[in-house]
Amino acid sequence: MIREPLIFELSAKGKSAFSLPKLEVPEKKEILRNIPLRAEIEGFPRVSEVEIVRHFTRLSQTNHCVDIGFYPLGSCTMKYNPKINEKVASFSEFTSSHPFAPQDIIQGNLQILKRTEELLAEITGMDAFTLQPSAGAQGELIGMMIVRAFHEEKGNPRKIILIPDSAHGTNPSSAHLSGYKVKEIKSNEEGTIDVNDLSQNMTEEVAALMITNPNTLGVFEADIMKIAQIVHSKGGFIYMDGANMNALTGICRPGDMDVDVIHLNLHKTFSTPHGGGGPGSGPVGVKKNLEPYLPFPVIDIKKEEYFLNFDRPKSIGRVRSFFGNHSVIIKALAYILSLGSEGLKEISEIAVLNSNYIRKSLENDYYLKYKTPTLHECVFSDKFQKEHGIQNIDIAKRLIDFNLHPPTMSFPLIVHGALMIEPTETESKRDLDLFIKAMKQISKEAKENPEILKSAPKTAHVRRLDETTAARNPVLRWTPPSGKDKQD
Amino acid sequence: MYPEDFHFTKDHEWAQIKGETVTVGITDFAQKQLGDVVYVELPKVGTQLEFHQSIGVVESVKAVSDIYSPLSGEVVAVNEELNNSPELINQDPHGKGWIIRLKIKDETEVEKLMSASEYEKFIEGIED
Amino acid sequence: MRYISLSDKDKKEMMAKVGIDSLKRLFSSIPEELKLKKSLRIPPPFSEQELLRYFDSIRSQIKYSEYLSFYGGGAYNHFIPYTVDYLSSRGEFLTPYTPYQPEVSQGTLQVIFEYQTLICQLTGMDIANASLYDGASGAAEAVLMAHRIKGRSKVLIARTLHPQYREVIRTYVKNVAITTEEVAYSPTGEIDFQDLEEKIDKETSAVVCQSPNFMGVIENLEKISELARSHHALFILVVTEPISLGLLEAPGKLGADVVTGEAQSFGIPLSFGGPYLGFLACSKDLLRQLPGRIAGQTSDVEGRRGFVLTLSTREQHIRRERATSNICTNQAWCALRATIFLETLGREGMREVAWHNIQKANYALEKLVQINGVKRRLKGSFFNEFVLELSKEWSRVEGILRQKKIIGGISLEEFYPELKNCALFCFTEVHKKQDIDRFVKCLEEALE
């Protein structure tokens, strides 16, 4: 295995990878007379184009990715990323449009945004969408701000957001950023929201309940209408974290379940590639009564021409520069159009089938804390394996030796030693069976040969990494070895 | 296993009282749950703390935990060693891994705390 | 459907294993009354050919590339070396997940580590994060950061900070206990130091300014940082055109505490405004308040060097409501593109490109001010953008230029009502001499 150095370690004077045409205009040597200028960018690399291509190609080969194999990561919906969507998003008309361009010459861009909003509204049963949020977390924040703006206009912003103890970490942190305190709602023995606990905690000081449906255990919150009624009766809103939308497309719609605000993750349900950590897109959908508070600009249409509408007096304001993660949105639009309504329904059906197949196959090997029926994901724990000194992290690291990516770990918090598995609908039975086989073997190894788990992984590019030292003595950038400095 | 002269809280802090001052830390159970400690956020000397007010935070690689004051009082000392060696909390949680020392305000608050044997029973009962 | 990989036989076997006779049973946990009774009103599936035809018809409604354009204002048209598209489109870079399992993500993590290093080198700061959404959210996060660090309620923001960034900061701080106050600009376009001195006090947690600012003018960073320091406030510098750092001294050397902004200029196409790339760098004592993901170097059990995401306890998935930020998915793939771009340009290339930008802008200015009816407004030193004041209404001039297939600058009056008939123009290395000469000629004609 070639160990790839840092680019700075390959750098040396005399090498370069760039090319520029001649300057053409008369050169003025005396420029910026009173401004501090730099002699050079210290430490910046100098390598050839060949070295750049090899460097990144080799680095890429040490990554697992969806194009290689699956990621059974609960709550992440790491489905296949269709290639035609990449092609379409790369059309130069889309990539070269400057955001300040006059609206009449970039109508196609506005049309894309409007059409996507319409389709997402139809899929979710909501009335209006904004495509501005750059990710789910930003969508949550915007959703919370919209809720707050509504309450503020009524005279009392209220103080509290209710969040189930099974929620994703972005939920409470987004609530906090919008100036609310968080009160946790307990889950019952089925893993769903304890309606009594909700009832007791729902007051007129609560601005909203943030709910994920199906929840992070993969269980559908069947009491959703009752829950909505409790919250609405005291003037609060239902915010739905739409991260698990992959279980519901074409089956049921959040808007029909009395949800008031929702965010979606285009990089989850709508197949846009995860890119190693973004860019994503987190559109927010609202019901009519919250529509005036959407961030500006909004895309409207007048006499068959699309335009950006900044005249939105009740808007929460601007939440990002320009309009949204445009190329990500294009990919999602292409995806929705490629699927059609039958395709969207098929997503949920197969996603739920795949997940339940795994669940049924492993239910004797791993502990299932909640026996409730699950949809597109299920959560096991390391309870059986703990008896032999094995934790979920050891199981995860051993899966790597089977060339499989581990499931989501240690989340939700209500299951200790959690292993959250979401295969998505794009996986083949063969890949699912490979995963099941590996998990069964690992369960066996935990009893008979725990050492092999503790020392895993053995076959990956690196073995288990020391995360403790990384946090205790952080080294967050390359620095030139002393004495070398500007010479290189 | 847990020192007899220590008192304990439900949030896994220990308190060792010597006259007017109490030394505070987190228990062996807590440090095991947290994993390798990487950072401790310490309060300033002179801070006034109420019973169960947050003293600061203990961070491990994968988790963060608030430390709550077992008694009310004024912070008279903090364990500066933890800045360079947070691992002391893992290695010697009841000794060198102490976190702060308080001057006690109200001795009667000690009654709210658990004894060593009560604490041991308490952690046995915690679902795993 | 071609994105599903189950055969008819597979489905039968799997349904048998699960114990159901129809797929409908999978949803028995959902109350019947909530289920859709009819299909969604979405057109039937598009085949690949139909999809291409659909998008062809949409893109035919975009005429942008027919025009010669001089737009800047936070989004810059720079040449992107082909290595960036070629390498970043590899499936191993486009389709992996966030590198939470470092053993199978060393590629992503090493790229982030290199990216962090490059940002530190450019800005002269100690540490940088793995990216934020865009420059605007970077500015907002920096303001929230300053508030957490200093515990003070006021932030002073230069009026010449990008108008959209100021709006975003306002939205973000609305619900936390922070008030913002704007600082005026002087006739040169630089920050008005008198106004700044009057407004800064012990309630100020930070001074936020942009350089080159929205007017294209380069600020006196040393002077601003001295003033901030004397009041124990943080100096937050926002950079929307970081190509300028190829020439200008590193802000870290001039006293900035936090440098944040937009790295779209580093290999990210204009794409109608997104996805872009926010960066944030700071001094090492602010490490624990740094929002966003960070990659760190470490070693494995055999002593080999490797990289991991670290200091995760700052983040939402652990700290939850007390996290430094709620950010989860960020802009990692854009940061990858920026890394390839910066490494391709390299030490000399960055400087050369910056040099071309400033030379072209200077050449353009010299020619433009010779036109009757064109004046330079706000005469401070500039990099690749500057403001011109015209003798006629900009909207009229703009219309005439449009007919000559020229678009851009950006009208300033809508953001700064006092700057009537003023527009912001940007010149980069992609503009040929003949483009600039044609623009000068057409503007002259438009003003006759």
**Rounded-to-integer distance, Cα A392 and Cα A409, Å:** 7
pLDDT confidence bin for C448, thresholds 50/70/90: confident
Cβ–Cβ of B39/C312 closer than 8 Å?
A: no
Q: Are residues C247 and C373 in the same domain?
A: no
Residue C355 belongs to what domain range? 64-79+346-446
Q: Which two tokens stand for residue A83?
A: 């290639």
B6-124: CATH class: mainly beta
Nearest one of B45, C55, C178 to A336, comparing CA atoms: C55
- B39 contacts on A by Cβ (under 8 Å): 471-472
**Rounded-to-integer distance, Cα A172 and Cα A422, Å:** 23
Q: Are residues C69 and C131 in the same domain?
A: no
Cβ–Cβ of A471/B128 closer than 8 Å?
A: no
A457 CB near a chain C CB, below 8 Å? yes
| Residue A1 reports pLDDT greater than 60 | no
Token pair 């969207």: residue: A344
Q: Are residues C331 and C244 in the same domain?
A: yes
Main-chain phi, psi angles of C306, to 5 degrees: -155, 175
Cβ–Cβ of C131/A173 closer than 8 Å?
A: no
Cβ–Cβ of C298/A469 closer than 8 Å?
A: yes
| Residue A90 reports pLDDT greater than 90 | yes
| Residue C317 reports pLDDT greater than 90 | no
Mean pLDDT of A148-162: 96
**Count of domains forming chain C:** 2
Average pLDDT of chain A to the nearest whole number: 94
**Rounded-to-integer distance, Cα C143 and Cα A408, Å:** 33
Q: Are residues C433 and C300 in the same domain?
A: no
Closest partner residue to A276 (CB to CB) among C96, C167, C298 is C96
Q: Choose one of C325, C341, C357: the last residue of a domain.
A: C341
**Rounded-to-integer distance, Cα A71 and Cα C206, Å:** 43
Higher pLDDT, A325 or B106: A325
**B13: closest CA of chain C, how far (Å):** 20
Q: Which two tokens stand for residue A430?
A: 């063969």
Mean pLDDT of A350-379: 95
**Rounded-to-integer distance, Cα C417 and Cα A151, Å:** 33
Closest partner residue to B38 (CB to CB) among A386, A416, A471 is A471
Nearest one of C164, C155, C158 to C136, comparing CA atoms: C164
pLDDT confidence bin for B127, thresholds 50/70/90: low
Residue C159 lies in a domain: yes
Q: Which two tokens stand for residue A270?
A: 């709508």
The predicted pLDDT at position C321 comes to 60
Q: Are A23 and C356 in contact (CB under 8 A)?
A: yes
The predicted pLDDT at position A488 comes to 47
Q: Are residues C231 and C270 in the same domain?
A: yes
**C414: closest CA of chain B, how far (Å):** 47
Residue A38 Ramachandran class (φ > 0 left, ψ -120 to 50 alpha, else beta): beta
Best A468, A469, A473, A475 member to test B by mutation, with max B CBs in 10 Å, is A468
Q: Are residues C90 and C71 in the same domain?
A: no
DSSP string across A8-36? HHH--TT----------SPP-SS-STTS-
The predicted pLDDT at position B92 comes to 95
Measured between CA atoms, the residue of chain B closest to residue A369 is: B128
Nearest one of A223, A291, A288 to A257, comparing CA atoms: A223
Nearest one of C393, C408, C399, C412 to C439, comparing CA atoms: C408
Best A28, A56, A430 member to test C by mutation, with max C CBs in 10 Å, is A56
Q: Which two tokens stand for residue C68?
A: 């010669």
**B107: closest CA of chain A, how far (Å):** 32
Residue C120 lies in a domain: yes
Mean pLDDT of C34-58: 96
**Which residue type occupies A424?**
T
Q: Are residues C71 and C87 in the same domain?
A: no
Pairing of strands C204-210, C154-158: parallel
A452 CB near a chain C CB, below 8 Å? no
Q: What is the largest CA-CA distance in chain A?
A: 78
What value of ipTM does the predicted structure carry? 0.96
| Residue B41 reports pLDDT greater than 50 | yes
For position C121, which CATH number holds?
A: 3.40.640.10
A473 CB near a chain B CB, below 8 Å? no
| Residue A179 reports pLDDT greater than 90 | no
Cβ neighbourhood burial of B46 (10 Å; 0-12, 13-18, 19+): exposed
Domains (ranges, CATH) in chain A? 84-338 (3.40.640.10), 340-472 (3.90.1150.10)
Residue-range domain boundaries for chain B:
6-124
Closest partner residue to A276 (CB to CB) among C328, C336, C363 is C336
**B86: closest CA of chain A, how far (Å):** 8
Look up residue C447 and give its DSSP letter: T
State the sign of the Cα–Cα–Cα–Cα dihedral C106, C112, C113, C118: positive
Q: Are A232 and A202 in contact (CB under 8 A)?
A: no
Residue C25 lies in a domain: no
| Residue A365 reports pLDDT greater than 90 | yes
Cβ neighbourhood burial of B90 (10 Å; 0-12, 13-18, 19+): middle
**Rounded-to-integer distance, Cα C197 and Cα C176, Å:** 25
Cβ–Cβ of A467/B61 closer than 8 Å?
A: yes
Collect all residues with Cβ–Cβ distance below 8 Å to A271 and sequence separation of at least 6: A79, A80, A81, A82, A85, A331, A332, A335, C3
Residues 398-437 of A with CB under 8 A from C: 400, 405-406, 411, 425-429, 431
A37 CB near a chain B CB, below 8 Å? no
Q: Are residues C285 and C355 in the same domain?
A: no
A236 CB near a chain C CB, below 8 Å? no
Mean pLDDT of C1-8: 95
Q: Are A164 and A188 in contact (CB under 8 A)?
A: no
pLDDT confidence bin for A214, thresholds 50/70/90: very high
Q: Choose one of C297, C325, C341: the last residue of a domain.
A: C341
Lowest mean pLDDT among A272-276, A362-366, C328-332: C328-332
Q: Are A463 and C300 in contact (CB under 8 A)?
A: yes
Q: Are C212 and C241 in contact (CB under 8 A)?
A: yes
Q: Are residues C355 and C371 in the same domain?
A: yes
**A53: closest CA of chain C, how far (Å):** 7
**Rounded-to-integer distance, Cα A150 and Cα A316, Å:** 10
Q: Are residues C275 and C418 in the same domain?
A: no
**Rounded-to-integer distance, Cα C361 and Cα C216, Å:** 11
State the sign of the Cα–Cα–Cα–Cα dihedral B69, B74, B79, B84: positive
Q: Are A151 and A290 in contact (CB under 8 A)?
A: no
Chains sharing 3 or more CB pairs under 8 A with chain B = A, C
- Cα dist. A301→A34, A120, A307 in Å? 50, 18, 6
DSSP string across C383-446? SSEEEEEESS-HHHHHHHHHHTTEE--EESTTT-TTSTTEEEEE--TTS-HHHHHHHHHHHHHH
Nearest one of A132, A151, A175, A113 to A290, comparing CA atoms: A151
* Residue A299 CA, distance from chain mean position: 25
Q: Where are the beta strands (DSSP E) in A382-469?
A: 408-409, 418-421
Closest partner residue to A94 (CB to CB) among C272, C348, C349 is C272
Q: Are A220 and A246 in contact (CB under 8 A)?
A: no
Q: Are residues C321 and C288 in the same domain?
A: yes
For position C397, which CATH number holds?
A: 3.90.1150.10
Residues 4-33 of B with CB under 8 A from C: none
Best A22, A53, A320 member to test C by mutation, with max C CBs in 10 Å, is A320
pLDDT tens digits, residue range A37-85?
999 999 999 999 999 999 999 999 999 999 999 899 998 999 999 999 9
The predicted pLDDT at position C247 comes to 97
3-class SS at B107?
Answer: helix
| Residue C329 reports pLDDT greater than 80 | no
Residue C388 lies in a domain: yes
Mean pLDDT of A452-464: 90
Lowest mean pLDDT among A31-35, B94-98, C6-10: A31-35
Count A/B contacts: CB-CB distance under 8 Å.
Answer: 20
pLDDT tens digits, residue range A283-311?
999 999 999 999 999 999 999 999 999 99
The predicted pLDDT at position C289 comes to 87
Structural element, H or E, at residue C282: strand C278-282
Residue A142 pairs with which residues in a beta bridge? Answer: none
**Rounded-to-integer distance, Cα C331 and Cα C271, Å:** 15
C54 CB near a chain A CB, below 8 Å? yes
Residue C397 half-sphere exposure toward CB, CA atoms < 13 A: 26
Measured between its terminal Cα atoms, the distance across chain C in Å is 62
Q: Choose one of C289, C319, C341: the last residue of a domain.
A: C341
Q: Are C183 and C195 in contact (CB under 8 A)?
A: yes
Q: Are residues C328 and C394 in the same domain?
A: no
The predicted pLDDT at position A487 comes to 47
